[in-house]
C-alpha cells in the first residue's frame, strides 16, 4: 500500500500567526489528509499556538523522524527547545525568536539533506526578526540553498495559486533597472527552472507562457524591441526542444488566459507583473515554492500578519495548499511503499 510522504512542518515565527496556523491544520486533520507530518520547533511555542487557535491535540516528542508512529491521532514533534515565548509580545519584532527561527531552519535542512523527511513546509517567517536575530543572509531561501549545498545551481521562487504556477525573471529589482536583466541567459534560465519545477510537481508536459515586456508585446518593434531581439529567440529555442512554451504574451492579457486554465505556468519579467494579478485574484491561498532545490520546500505566500497575530482569526487556506503542493512534489520525487 502506498504511504503518504513524511513532511517536516516548522511552526514559523512565534510572534506571528504561524504557530496558530499549524495548530489548526493539525487539529482539524487537514495536514494528515495529505502527508505524515512531523512538527518541528519548540513545544512551548506549539502549546501557545494551540491556545491561540482554541484547539487541542496530543503530540509525542521524538528526537529522530524514525521514531514517529502517528498512532491514535498523536502527532510527532521534534522539540528543539530553543525558544521560550513566556515573555513574548505577539505581533512585534522579537530578535531572540528570530535567532531561534534561523536555528530551526538549519535543523530542518539537516533533516532534508539526510533524507529523514521527504519535504518541508514552513509557516510564515519575519525577515526583520530573522536578520536582527543574527542571520546575516539575504533571506531564508538563501539559507536553504547554503545549507543544502545548492548556492551554485539555478534557483528561484515560484508562486502557486490554485493550479497556476508563476515565476519571474527578476524579483526585487528597481523598475528602472529591469530591462538590463531581460537577457537571453536570464529568460532561458527562468523558463528552464519553471519547467523543471513543474516536472518535479508531476506535470508531464507543462504549458508555460512567457509575458511580454512592452505594451502590446512591442507592437512589432514600434513600442520596444525586447520581444523581437530577446524573448522570441529564446521561446523558439525551447519550442524546438519540444516544450510547450507560448509567447511573448502581452502583459495586460496574459493572466486572463492563465486564469482560464490555458497555461499551467506563467513566466513574468518583473515582480509586479505577476504579483499584482495573483494577489488580486486570491491573496489568501497563494503558496511560495523554492524552485531549483532538490527537495520540496513550500510556505504560505502571505506573511506573519502581525496585525492579527494572537487573535485566533488567521485563515488556513494557504497553509493547507502549501502542504498539498509539498506533498505533490515529494510524491513525484520519491517512492513510498
Give domain status of residue 227, yes or no.
yes
Q: Are residues 60 and 172 in the same domain?
A: no
Quick check: bond before 54 cis, omega within 30?
no
Give domain status of residue 172, yes or no.
yes
Q: Are residues 47 and 114 in the same domain?
A: yes
Q: Are residues 199 and 313 in the same domain?
A: no
Using CA atoms of 118, 123, 124, 126 in order, give the dihedral in degrees to the nearest 10: -90
pLDDT by 10s per residue, the chain, length 337: 468 999 999 999 999 999 999 999 999 999 999 999 999 999 999 999 999 999 999 999 999 999 999 998 899 999 999 999 999 999 999 999 999 999 999 999 999 999 999 999 999 999 999 999 999 998 999 999 999 999 999 999 999 998 899 999 998 899 999 999 999 999 999 999 999 999 999 999 999 999 999 999 999 999 999 999 999 999 999 999 999 999 999 999 999 999 999 999 999 999 999 989 988 887 778 999 999 999 999 999 999 999 999 999 999 999 999 999 999 999 987 654 3
Instruction: Sort strands 244-249 and 207-211 into parallel, antiparallel or unpaired.
Output: parallel
Give domain status of residue 134, yes or no.
yes
Q: Are residues 241 and 312 in the same domain?
A: no
pTM check: above 0.85: yes
Distance CA 274, CA 323 (A): 23
Domain boundary residue, one of 253, 278, 303: 278
- The full 3-state SS of 152-173, as one line of letters, equals CCCCEEEEEECCEEEEECCCCC
pLDDT at residue 333, rounded to an integer:
72
Domain that holds residue 130: 6-153+292-333
Q: Are residues 267 and 163 in the same domain?
A: yes
Give domain status of residue 1, yes or no.
no
Q: Are residues 83 and 37 in the same domain?
A: yes
Q: How many domains does the chain have?
A: 2
User: For residue 243, which phi and psi values (nearest 5 degrees)?
Assistant: -90, 145
Domain boundary residue, one of 278, 300, 317: 278
pLDDT at residue 51, rounded to an integer:
98
Q: Are residues 312 and 299 in the same domain?
A: yes
pLDDT at residue 3, rounded to an integer:
87
Give domain status of residue 39, yes or no.
yes
Q: Are residues 189 and 306 in the same domain?
A: no
44 three-class SS: helix
Q: In Å, how far are 192, 227, 238, 253, 279 from 250, measured between CA atoms?
A: 21, 10, 19, 6, 19
pLDDT at residue 282, rounded to an integer:
77
Q: What angle do CA 301, 304, 308 make, to 5 degrees?
A: 120
Q: Are residues 164 and 274 in the same domain?
A: yes
Strand partners, 37: 7
Q: Are residues 138 and 13 in the same domain?
A: yes
Instruction: Sort strands 119-122 and 6-10 into parallel, antiparallel or unpaired.
Output: parallel
Q: Are residues 146 and 106 in the same domain?
A: yes
Give domain status of residue 283, yes or no.
no
Give domain status of residue 286, yes or no.
no
Q: What is the CATH number of the domain that holds 26?
A: 3.40.718.10
Give domain status of residue 70, yes or no.
yes
Q: Are residues 228 and 264 in the same domain?
A: yes
Query: Burial of 315 by CB count in 10 Å (0-12 exposed, 13-18 middle, 19+ buried)?
Result: middle
pLDDT at residue 1, rounded to an integer:
46
Amino acid at each position: 500500500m502506498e504511504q503518504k510522504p513524511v513532511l517536516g512542518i516548522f511552526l514559523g515565527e512565534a510572534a506571528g500567526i504561524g504557530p496558530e496556523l499549524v495548530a489548526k491544520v493539525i487539529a482539524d486533520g487537514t495536514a494528515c489528509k495529505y502527508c505524515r507530518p512531523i512538527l518541528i520547533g519548540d513545544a512551548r511555542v506549539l502549546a501557545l499556538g494551540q491556545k491561540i487557535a482554541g484547539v487541542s491535540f496530543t503530540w509525542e516528542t521524538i528526537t529522530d523522524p524514525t521514531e514517529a508512529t502517528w498512532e491514535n491521532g498523536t502527532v510527532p514533534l521534534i522539540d528543539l527547545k530553543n525558544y521560550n515565548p513566556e515573555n513574548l509580545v505577539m505581533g512585534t519584532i522579537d530578535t531572540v525568536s528570530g535567532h531561534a527561527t534561523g536555528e530551526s531552519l538549519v535543523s530542518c535542512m539537516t533533516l532534508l539533506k539526510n533524507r529523514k523527511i521527504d519535504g518541508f513546509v514552513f509557516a510564515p517567517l519575519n525577515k526583520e526578526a530573522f536578520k536582527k536575530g543574527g542571520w546575516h543572509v539575504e533571506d531564508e531561501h538563501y539559507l536553504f540553498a547554503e545549507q543544502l549545498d545548492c548556492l551554485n545551481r539555478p534557483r528561484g521562487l515560484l508562486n502557486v495559486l490554485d493550479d497556476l504556477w508563476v515565476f519571474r525573471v527578476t524579483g526585487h529589482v528597481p523598475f528602472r533597472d529591469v530591462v538590463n536583466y531581460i537577457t537571453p541567459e536570464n529568460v532561458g534560465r527562468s523558463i528552464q527552472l519553471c519547467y523543471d519545477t513543474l516536472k518535479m510537481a508531476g506535470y508531464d508536459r507543462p504549458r508555460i507562457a512567457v509575458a511580454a515586456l512592452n505594451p502590446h508585446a512591442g507592437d512589432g518593434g514600434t513600442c520596444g524591441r525586447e520581444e523581437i531581439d530577446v524573448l522570441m529567440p529564446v521561446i523558439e529555442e525551447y519550442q524546438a526542444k519540444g516544450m510547450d512554451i507560448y509567447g511573448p504574451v502581452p502583459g495586460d492579457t496574459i493572466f486572463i488566459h492563465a486564469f482560464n486554465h490555458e497555461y499551467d505556468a506563467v513566466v513574468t519579467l518583473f515582480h509586479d507583473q505577476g504579483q499584482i494579478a495573483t494577489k488580486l485574484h486570491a491573496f489568501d491561498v497563494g503558496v511560495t515554492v523554492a524552485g531549483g532545490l532538490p527537495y520540496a520546500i513550500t510556505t504560505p505566500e502571505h506573511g506573519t500578519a502581525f496585525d492579527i497575530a494572537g487573535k485566533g482569526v488567521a485563515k488556513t487556506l494557504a497553509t493547507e495548499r502549501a502542504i498539498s503542493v509539498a506533498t505533490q512534489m515529494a510524491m513525484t520525487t520519491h517512492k513510498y511503499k
